[in-house]
A = this chain, B = another copy of it.
Amino acid sequence: MTPLRIHLDQNEMPTHWYNIVADMPNPPSAPLGPDGQPVSPEMMGAIFPGPILEQEMSAQRWIEIPDEVRQIYAMWRPAPLCRALRLEQALGTPAKIYYKYEGVSPAGSHKPNSAVPQAYYNKLAGTKRLTTETGAGQWGSSIAFAGQMFGLPVRVYMVKVSYEQKPFRRSMMQTWGAEVFASPTNMTNAGRAALAADPNCQGSLGLAISEAVEEAASQADTCYTLGSVLNHVILHQTVIGLEAKKQFEKAGLYPDVIFGPCGGGSSFGGIAFPFLADKAAGDKRAANLRCVAVEPTSCPTLTKGAYAYDYGDASGYTPIMKMYTLGHDFMPPGIHAGGLRYHGDSPLVSQLFHEKMLEAIAVPQVATFEAGVQFARAEGIIPAPESCHAIRGAIDEALRCKATGEEKTILIGLTGHGHFDMASYDKYFSNQLEDFDYPAEAITSSLAHLPKVG
């Protein structure tokens, strides 16, 4: 029997998160307010607690993971690093394929890695309630779980169309004690305005963000939480890559190429950045390492977007950040990888991509499900549609290795399981999934609306 999982003991779990800001060739660009001036921590204090803001602005390389957070992480971490031996055999590739599997968390994805510390720091800072938005429900369920762990009530504004079409993520949030409302609600100005304009409004992520932020900003004891994009979220997610590095070390291996799905960028940064740290430190094993962000062709932020200042939300309520963007009012087609339908990308991932320390590719929807089914039939695990993007990238790389005979070591960021996405698999099997054309005109149009800076 060939062991397939590389073990880490619970006492080998990372004690610190890695902050790539300390190792970037150029300092990160700051978020700007409507006046074009950097946003001060005080301005952000209305919706985020102090310790989170400190991490958001920090340039310290290593930031300690509090014991209370590690104790919750210990419910499922260290997460497995597994050899995809049967997939290698099915492909007939000389490449070694590994996957770091985050689907073992209670919510079934990497999202709790940041939800747990966000809930913890809020509790520490005296926050009494948390708000957030969620689309398909991955982030909402993770913050519901994390809030429950620290006794913090959580209110989730869930985009109405998802609330109605994906009831089981909602049930999951309720099982962990969260209040879930279909957004738009009549509890906020933003929601009431949307309902006044259209009583049948189906909601959008941008609108749900507005509701959650409005509630947090208007109540002193309430803070807002966000599941991707921002620096502190990626910081928390580096626990993924830090564990993977230790696991590869135990196996006497080092990856040649890493594929991760990329929407807001937190899971991708989380797996890739700790390896980039080796590169920054001159580690020879990392000299030729490639980190490849995989995005949908229908929402090709890194591969087709502009590197520019833009709003983080659709409505233009947030500070503007320098990032790859398709324009904040770009509306991507309704693909099934809901986590990859964001118009922008993490400013850290964007800057490192711009400086050519990261790569990006875009893949069409049907091909990602094809890869997901091939993976499930070889490895058992049914991957989330987001994760299928990374698998597509890895399979294509492994097939190139087959052609060239290269024995590369490939790492997949397998961000979650697809147990709540089986309706999408159904559509794939019944040939109802579409490949959307590259939305060139829509992008050109939305890029014309970028905010003016300076």
A residues whose Cβ falls under 8 Å from a Cβ of B: 1-5, 7, 9-11, 13, 67, 70-71, 74-76, 82, 86, 104-106, 108, 145, 148-149, 167-168, 171-172, 174-177, 373, 376-377, 379-382, 419-420, 422-423, 425-426, 429
Contact = CB atoms under 8 A, between A and B. Distances in A.
Assembly stoichiometry (copies): 2
A2 B423 contact: no
B3 A172 contact: no
Given A2-B74, A11-B3, A175 B67 contact: no
Contacts of A177: 377
B104 A104 contact: yes
B419 A108 contact: yes
B175 A71 contact: no
B2 A76 contact: no
Given A148-B377, A171-B429, A4 B75 contact: yes
9 residue pairs, one from A and one from B, having the closest CB atoms? A106-B380, A168-B422, A171-B422, A419-B419, A3-B10, A1-B70, A4-B74, A171-B426, A175-B376
B75 A380 contact: yes
B1 A67 contact: yes
A384 to B, nearest CB: 12
A382 B149 CA distance: 14
Given A7-B7, A167-B422, A377 B176 contact: yes
Contacts of A174: 425-426, 429
A142 to B, nearest CB: 11
Nearest to A71: B1
Given A3-B10, A106-B381, A420 B419 contact: yes
A380 B76 contact: yes
B106 A168 contact: no
Contact of A168 (B76, B376, B423, B429): B423
A227 B41 CA distance: 59
A105 B380 CA distance: 8
A429 B179 CA distance: 12
B5 A1 contact: no
A137 to B, nearest CB: 11
Contacts of A3: 9-11, 74
A4 B77 CA distance: 10
Given A106-B380, A177-B377, A71 B171 contact: no
